[in-house]
């Protein structure tokens, strides 16, 4: 069976990208292969992780293409040129339009660091999600992998995993635990599951 071609879109350190690359190396992802990493920030450390794994990279920033339509057109060009089957948003801090998400319907997934519908939507990303969870006093949080549509964190849920909140947690401690116990497990598993189903 031919492996599906996966692109990972990143903005920062690339810890989720690393989890995907590690899962691929360990044989946990058999049906797909990361063939392209695109960053919307030129200095993103995720690009170094991709290079270390021998994965081609591209940088497409809003500075280069301030117009959303043009920015997305360049993304599409890069994705289509690489023959991408599945797009994974791994800490990609750019909202994508209905035109873009519609073009790749059920072929874009994202990992969000909470149990959707809690602490999600526009403005909820990174540490802010964990700050809000702690403010609310929840005892359980977690991560969600979902399909991406034009509504931030609004697409159909693929998988969720719960993570306990400990007394004395800081947003940083909670973020690390959610990554280790949920995000880094859910995302590779979802990639394998979807790639295996893609025709």
Q: What is the mean pLDDT of the chain?
A: 96
Above 80 in pLDDT, residue 22?
A: yes
Residue 199 pLDDT: 73
In this structure, CATH architecture of domain 4-197: 3-Layer(aba) Sandwich (3.40)
Per-residue pLDDT, averaged over 172-187, amounts to 97
Instruction: Tell me the average pLDDT across 4-31.
Output: 97
> Given this model, what pLDDT does residue 146 score?
98
- Catalytic position from the list 106, 112, 146, 166: 112
**Whether the predicted pLDDT of 158 surpasses 90:** yes
Rounded Cα–Cα distance for residues 61 and 42 (Å): 7
Give residue 46's pLDDT: 98
Q: What was the pLDDT predicted at 95?
A: 87
- Given a contact cutoff of 8 angstroms between Cβ atoms, the answer to whether 79 and 36 are in contact is yes
pLDDT for residue 1 is more than 90: no
Digit-coded pLDDT (tens) for 125-136: 999 999 999 999
Per-residue DSSP letter, 199: -
Residue 188 pLDDT more than 80? Answer: yes
Percentage of the chain lying above the pLDDT 70 cut: 100
Q: Based on the residue annotation, tell me whether 166 is a catalytic residue of this protein.
A: no
pLDDT tens across 108-125, in order? 999 999 999 999 998 899
Mean pLDDT to the nearest integer, 62-78: 95
Whole-number pLDDT of residue 80: 97
Q: 8 near 56, Cβ under 8 Å?
A: no
Strands 157-164 and 140-147: antiparallel
């Amino acid at each position: 069976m031919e492996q599906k071609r996966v692109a990972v879109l990143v903005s920062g350190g690339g810890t989720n990208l690393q989890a995907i690359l590690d899962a691929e190396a360990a044989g946990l992802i058999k049906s797909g292969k990361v063939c392209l990493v695109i960053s919307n920030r030129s200095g993103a450390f995720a690009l170094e992780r991709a290079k270390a794994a021998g994965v081609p990279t591209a940088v497409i920033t809003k500075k280069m293409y301030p117009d959303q339509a043009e920015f997305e057109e360049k993304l599409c060009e890069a994705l289509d040129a690489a023959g991408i089957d599945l797009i994974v948003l791994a800490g990609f801090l750019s909202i994508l339009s209905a035109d873009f998400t519609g073009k790749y319907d059920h072929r874009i997934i994202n990992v969000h660091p909470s149990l959707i519908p809690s602490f999600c939507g526009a403005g909820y990303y990174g540490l802010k999600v964990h700050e809000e969870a702690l403010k609310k006093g929840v005892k359980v949080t977690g991560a969600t992998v979902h399909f991406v549509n034009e509504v931030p964190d609004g697409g159909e849920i693929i998988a969720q995993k719960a993570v306990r909140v400990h007394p004395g947690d800081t947003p940083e401690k909670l973020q690390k635990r959610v990554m280790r116990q949920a995000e880094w497990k859910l995302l590779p598993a979802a990639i394998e599951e979807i790639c295996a189903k893609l025709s």
